[in-house]
Amino acid sequence: KQGKGRVILTSSITGPNTGYPGWSHYAASKAGQLGFLRTAALELSRYNTTINAVLPGKIATEGFAGLSEDCQKRMVTSIPLKRLGSVEDVGHAVLFFATDEAGYITGQTITVDGGQSCRKV
Clarify whether 47 is annotated catalytic.
no
Query: Considering only CA atoms, which of 96, 97, 110 is closest in space to residue 51?
Result: 97
CB 3 within 8 A of CB 100: no
Q: CB of 102 within 8 A of CB of 54?
A: no
Catalytic annotation, pick one of 20, 26, 47, 104: 26
- Give catalytic residue positions: 26
